[in-house]
Amino acid sequence: MRMKPLRNIRLNGILALAIIWAGAVSHGLSQSIPAPAAKAASVPDEDQNYRLIPGDIIDVRPFFNPELTEQVQIRPDGRISLHLIGEVDVAGKTVRDAMTLLDQRYAKELKTPEVTIQVRSFASQKAYVTGEVVRPGVVSIPGAMTVFEAISEAGGIKHTGNEKAVVLIRKGPDGKPQGRHLVLFEKGELTDAAGMRLRPFDVVIVPESKIAHVDRWIDQHIRQLIPVNSSAGFTYLISKQQGGIPVF
């Protein structure tokens, strides 16, 4: 389903989101091992595009050499240490790019490397749900969680909320915030948008049902709701950019 671009969300209305705190969450997330011939197709794009960060625990699996499988944690310097190939800098890379890098490194030692990466636990798995929900605030993401599940975790939408104008703000590939309008229900059924999987530091906003401009709502409510002493993880929302948050 194609969503309408966000034209009215101004970044000066969401500067306060940069002070949201996010703690570390460790929770296992299992995935099947993709077949070597179709590795890219076997791993969902959402998972391949997740950017690894220090503290993440990953399994590194050379498909044809399972005896070399290692579970490692990404160190604060962004590196992992593997027995056969030594130090590798993977922090900041997507899972897809990290697999390509490891393929190249293992190719010097193995005839057919075909490396896969399986994220076992995430160092930072937090999102923020605010607006017309019962319990606005930080929500832990234990593995896979959808937009609708996060809203449910926040107590659900209040009778004053607009389930057809939910806003999702996410860090884009260039590090800047991108936004999207989501319609959660159509004809009494959950939409595909409601089933979108959240990523770390996503912000889900449920506006009032009769609000005309989301940026005005943000200015009126979010600045008053977010505690001043909370900061980590959402700094990507700070920007001097004009013209609002682009749609993703």
Q: Establish if 247 belongs to a structural domain.
A: no
Q: Establish if 28 belongs to a structural domain.
A: no
pTM, whole model, 2 decimals? 0.52
Q: Establish if 1 belongs to a structural domain.
A: no
List C-alpha distances in Å: 194 to 3, 132, 165, 235: 12, 16, 12, 25
166 and 96 in a single domain? The answer is no
Q: Establish if 4 belongs to a structural domain.
A: no
CA 167 – CA 163 distance, rounded (Å): 10
149 and 230 in a single domain? The answer is yes
Q: For residue 82, list its beta bridge partners.
A: 86
| Tokens coding 8 | 């009215």
Domain boundary among 63, 90, 121: 121
Residue 177 belongs to domain with CATH number = 3.10.560.10
By residue count, the chain amounts to: 248
| Tokens coding 131 | 């607006």
Domain boundary among 91, 121, 151: 121
pLDDT score of 246 more than 90: no
130 and 180 in a single domain? The answer is yes
CA 93 – CA 50 distance, rounded (Å): 8
116 and 131 in a single domain? The answer is no
Q: pLDDT higher for 243 or 75?
A: 75
| Tokens coding 177 | 């915030």
- Helix extents (H) in 115-163: 147-153
Place of tokens 């409601």: 194
Average pLDDT value for the chain: 75
- Residue 31 pLDDT: 34
Q: Establish if 57 belongs to a structural domain.
A: yes
228 and 130 in a single domain? The answer is yes
Domains: count for the chain: 2
Q: Establish if 83 belongs to a structural domain.
A: yes
Residue 112 belongs to domain with CATH number = 3.30.1950.10
76 and 197 in a single domain? The answer is no
| Tokens coding 201 | 């530091």
Parent domain of 92: 36-121
Q: pLDDT higher for 186 or 14?
A: 186
Q: Establish if 243 belongs to a structural domain.
A: no
Four-residue CA torsion sign, 184, 188, 192, 195: positive
| Over residues 166-180, mean pLDDT | 85
Q: Establish if 194 belongs to a structural domain.
A: yes
88 and 154 in a single domain? The answer is no
Instruction: Give the other-Cβ count within 10 Å of 45's Cβ.
Output: 11
pLDDT digit string (tens) for 119-133? Answer: 888 776 788 999 999
Please return the burial class of 61, using the count of CB atoms within 10 Å of its CB with bins 0-12, 13-18 and 19+: buried
Binning pLDDT at 50, 70 and 90, where does residue 43 land?
very low
Task: Single out the residue of 151, 181, 185 nearest to residue 168, CA to CA.
Answer: 181
Domain boundary among 80, 100, 121: 121
139 and 150 in a single domain? The answer is yes
Binning pLDDT at 50, 70 and 90, where does residue 232 land?
low
pLDDT digit string (tens) for 177-222? Answer: 888 999 998 888 889 999 998 888 899 999 887 654 555 555 555 5
CA 66 – CA 215 distance, rounded (Å): 52
Q: Tell me, what DSSP letter sits at residue 178?
A: E
80 and 95 in a single domain? The answer is yes
Question: Helix, strand or coil for residue 96?
Answer: helix
